[in-house]
Structure 1
Amino acid sequence: MLVLLVAALAVVDITQGTAAVGPAEVFKALTGQADPADASVVIASRLPRMTDGILVGVILGVAGAVLQAVSRNVLASPDILAVNAGSYLALGLVGATGVSLPLLASSRVAFVGGPARRTGGVGCLRRSRAGRGTARHHRTRRRSWSVAGAAFAGAAVASVVVCGLAAPGGYQQNRLVLVGIGVAAGTTALISLLIVLTDPFNATKALTWLSGSTYGRTMPDVLPVALVLMPGLVVAVARRTELDLVSLDGDTPRLLGLRLSRARLGFLVVSVLLSATAVASAGTIGFVGLVAPHAARALVGRRHVRVVPVAVLLGAALVCTADLLGRTVIAPSQLGAGLMTAVIGTSYFLYLLVRSRR
């Protein structure tokens, strides 16, 4: 059922927008039979954006499920434990040093070259355009990987700080979450300071990206997300039994022969890597890593053999829905996907609060 829901949302997401494109035109564009205008809308814009949204949702669903198991706290998530904030701060620092970042600037705008020389005739002009296109593609690909590396470094530093401050209390559930909230607040303050001190033109784009968006994504931007997702998802599924044990208590895993510290560290590295990749690709999209695993446990129980797949599908559905609503609610203007996920997540937890009082 959830698979069909995600597939239906993907179809609607790729067909709706400023220029409506029907499913038939989408199929023709994917098979190379559409006219150039429809093919440009579908292949160059909406397909990468839809793909990136689904992959980011899957990543946040897996990362949230792993973090909640490791911390033994259903309120743990990448944004609450400062993982997302650390990634964004690192990207802001890298961008302040002059490295081009995807702060809602498409690769076409960020890397457009100068005019082609006309002295060599039409043949030289074509070769010049082809050469610029190839160089632009390589620069875009290098930029995507450098952004992912900077985001992972920032997330790793934030995680080390949170874990180091929470360690004296033995990683107690409440202590870990409270320390994470405090570090996230401090990191967010540094991000705001960095935005104020940098170029005002970039500050507007940074604030927009801070709200979370898949705008301007290209397939080279999506590639690192897919490559990081695959091993992370494999680890979460293959080690589902260890996730069950880690989420219980501190004694049961040791009695069953599991090295608890090593297992928790390994799962934490996986979740940090996944969360950092999501931030590098789509900015800070909150609530998904919190809502998707929480709702998955409510639907299928606490065993991660069922929680992980359901959280993956719910995360993909949440981000895809948020991106669709952000593009259509006030069209032709757009809202960030992170703003819409915040609305959805807040509504979900208000519903849980009302239901728990009955």
Structure 2
Amino acid sequence: MNELYMTGAEKNRRSRAILVMSVLGILIIASFIISMNTGFIRLSPLDVLKTVFGAGTDKQELILFDFRLPRIVISVLIGAGFAVSGAIIQGISRNPLSDPGLLGINAGAGLAVVLYISFYPVNEAAPLFFMPFLALIGAGATALLIYSLSYRKHYGLMPTRMILVGIAVAAGISAAMLVLTIRLDPNDYQFVSIWLAGSIWGTNWKFVLALFPWILILLPYSFAKAKVLNALNLGDQLAIGLGARVNKERLWLIAAAVGLAGSCVAVGGGIGFVGLIAPHLARRLVGPQHQYLLPASALIGALLLIVADTLARWAFQPTDIPTGIVVAVIGAPYFLYLLSRSK
């Protein structure tokens, strides 16, 4: 919107959003630096600085560039992806308590991976690098099933029905995964259990390169659709009156949300609650308009996951715990709080 036509309230809202996102950016940078120093083998800030500029030892370079930095970057990308996916789904369904996990998208990605591992051992190189594509296919197939069951010819996609169908589909997929995991080899079972708990297992630059294009393409696309999401929040009739092609736009937005969630699940496993908490916190900080809500959600999701992953690496040294467990410890009480305040 041209600044000449902005009201005082709109200018204040934009200024507040810029301030909030600037603070979040600073917190992410600070968390990034702290995370580089944190681990079983501690690197002081001076050691990190020396290593970044090429003056560190071979051991320090190995720790920082080959292990920590890829994991930290992946945490940022996954947090932003899950958060924006959750914000899109909440905008489409007009329900602040929905997220990719609730709609079964995460479960669908997990089922595809478990099915593949049932036939191929995880100690082979090919399955490990093929899993992101499988997770994306599983998430897409699940979303397509939910969409087809929620769509009615004369009414289009019904948001409330979509949530109920998603919960039912997620429950069925979880039951199928339980049956499949019982039949796995012990080594494969251990890998799947840790992966489904939300372990960021793809901790090298190849996985960063595999995930980055999805984030690079789908985040800007989602931000560009902010006005469409604003219109959809007003209800289908008003959105149509404003010129939005409701069913077509909703389908493309669901595809973007699935692409973000599926690619993040592939590398980060079944990390839940980020897509629920981040948009809700962003809505409290910058308001419901998606041109501010989506980027703020991405920043909050990135901050939440980088902090959770740092705690997962630090809390029980020398053993790492899955990042998803730390996020669940934070997210479950907050979800219950939201549920208690929901009308």
User: Which TM class, normalised by the smaller chain length?
Assistant: 0.7 to 0.9
Aligned partner (choices 248, 252, 271) of residue 285 of structure 1: 271
Q: Judging changes above 3 Å, is the alpha-carbon distance between structure 1 residues 143 and 335 closer, same or farther for their aligned structure 2 residues?
A: closer
Q: Alpha-carbon deviation of 1:174?
A: 3.2
Q: Residue in 1 aligned with 2:135? A: 151
Letter in 2 for 1:314: I
Q: Secondary structure in 2 aligned to 1:313?
A: helix
Contact 2:93 2:160 in 1 (8 A): no
1:345 and 1:21 map into 2 onto residues whose CA distance is 30
Letter in 1 for 2:248: R
1:63 and 1:216 map into 2 onto residues whose CA distance is 20
Any gaps of 5 or more consecutive residues in structure 2?
A: 1-22
Q: Residue in 2 aligned with 1:130? A: none
TM-score, structure 2 normalization = 0.88
Q: Residue in 1 aligned with 2:8? A: none
State yes or no: 1:70 paired with 2:92. Answer: yes
1:6 and 1:15 map into 2 onto residues whose CA distance is 14
1:97 and 1:351 map into 2 onto residues whose CA distance is 42
Superposition pairs of residues 221-300 of structure 1, within 5 angstroms: 221-300=207-286
Superposition pairs of residues 81-96 of structure 1, within 5 angstroms: 81-96=103-118
1:18 and 1:208 map into 2 onto residues whose CA distance is 20
Q: Judging changes above 3 Å, is the alpha-carbon distance between structure 1 residues 70 and 23 closer, same or farther for their aligned structure 2 residues?
A: same
Contact 1:64 1:77 in 2 (8 A): yes
Superposition pairs of residues 1-358 of structure 1, within 5 angstroms: 1-98=23-120, 100=122, 111=125, 144=129, 146-168=130-152, 171-215=157-201, 217-352=203-338, 356=341
1:224 and 1:75 map into 2 onto residues whose CA distance is 30
RMSD between superposed Cα atoms in Å: 1.9
Contact 1:75 1:177 in 2 (8 A): no
Cα distance per residue 1:256-286 (max 9 Å; x no partner): 2211111000001011011110011110100
Q: Secondary structure in 1 aligned to 2:236?
A: coil
Q: How many residues align?
A: 318
Q: Judging changes above 3 Å, is the alpha-carbon distance between structure 1 residues 352 and 198 closer, same or farther for their aligned structure 2 residues?
A: closer
Q: Alpha-carbon deviation of 1:320?
A: 0.8
Cα distance per residue 1:327-347 (max 9 Å; x no partner): 111211222111111111123
Q: Secondary structure in 1 aligned to 2:203?
A: coil
1:256 and 1:83 map into 2 onto residues whose CA distance is 30
Q: Judging changes above 3 Å, is the alpha-carbon distance between structure 1 residues 297 and 81 closer, same or farther for their aligned structure 2 residues?
A: same
Which piece of structure 1 moves more, 310-319 or 27-36?
A: 27-36
Q: Alpha-carbon deviation of 1:40?
A: 0.8
Cα distance per residue 1:158-213 (max 9 Å; x no partner): 11111222224854443222211111111111111111112111101110111111
Any gaps of 5 or more consecutive residues in structure 1?
A: 112-138
Letter in 1 for 2:111: L
Among the aligned pairs, what percent are the same residue? 33
Letter in 2 for 1:74: P
